[in-house]
Amino acid sequence: MANLTDFENIIGYNFTNIEYLKTALTHSSYVNENKSKDNLLEDNERFEFFGDAIIEFYISEYLFNKYDSFPEGDMTKLRASMVCEKSLAECAKVIHLGEYLRMGKGESRSGGRERASITSDAFEALVAAIYIDSGDEKVVRRFINEHLIKGLENKDLFFDAKTRLQELTQRNGNNSLKYELLSESGPAHDKVFEIAAFLNGFEIGRGRGHSKKAAQQKAAEEAISRINKSNN
């Protein structure tokens, strides 16, 4: 098994009981190949179950606080786009989780370490392991914020506010929705873009981000919030 200290450094959390981490990183194929040698081996499926619930709770809390004017339906779509196999697998890839999995030889040879269904489940199990080991909701919230929320906000995997805004503005006819770059600042490696969304020539939202796409999403989010508030 790869050096778990290296993995702890990657995720920014050191386990008090390393067995929790080992369990979170143990795929069922490894248990099946080694159960005759160690009857105490446990795969990560129970941790996965718990981690899924933990992630859903904290993401729900995050969305509830951030999008205070969004109706239940929009927040449900937002949560589904974040707590899904594709997005969790993307986050798992960033922390090289697949490299640290305990996996059966056959599963590993067939590409299991890169398989989204496996790495996304392991990411959920990892969250559960951190929760159980730390017993501190602040630690779990920080991990989810750093390795899930921030990791998705600038990606297409995150809620597509531009598409949602397009849907809202086209309900009452063929309105003109455009995005305009207002400014860009900062060094080449850390640019900040400011973009505004215009509906029929009137500014309805403004956003900033480290890419034009991220800034457009922020502008669309603000526009959606304004529209929802005006409709209430």
User: Which residues have a catalytic role annotated?
Assistant: 52, 124
Strand-pair category, 192-199 with 202-209: antiparallel
> 208 forms bridges with which residues in the sheet?
194
* CA 76-81-84 angle, 5° bins: 110
Distance CA 70, CA 74 (A): 6
Closest of 102, 94, 123 to residue 23, by C-alpha:
102
DSSP string computed for 29-98 = HHHHHHTTT-TT---SHHHHHHHHHHHHHHHHHHHHHH-TT--HHHHHHHHHHHSSHHHHHHHHHHTTGG
Rg (CA), the chain: 21
Provide the β-strand partners of residue 196.
Answer: 180, 206
**CA-to-CA distance for 201 and 104, rounded, in angstroms?**
59
How far, in Å, CA of 54 to CA of 131, rounded?
Answer: 8
| Residue 178, H or E segment | strand 177-185
DSSP 15: -
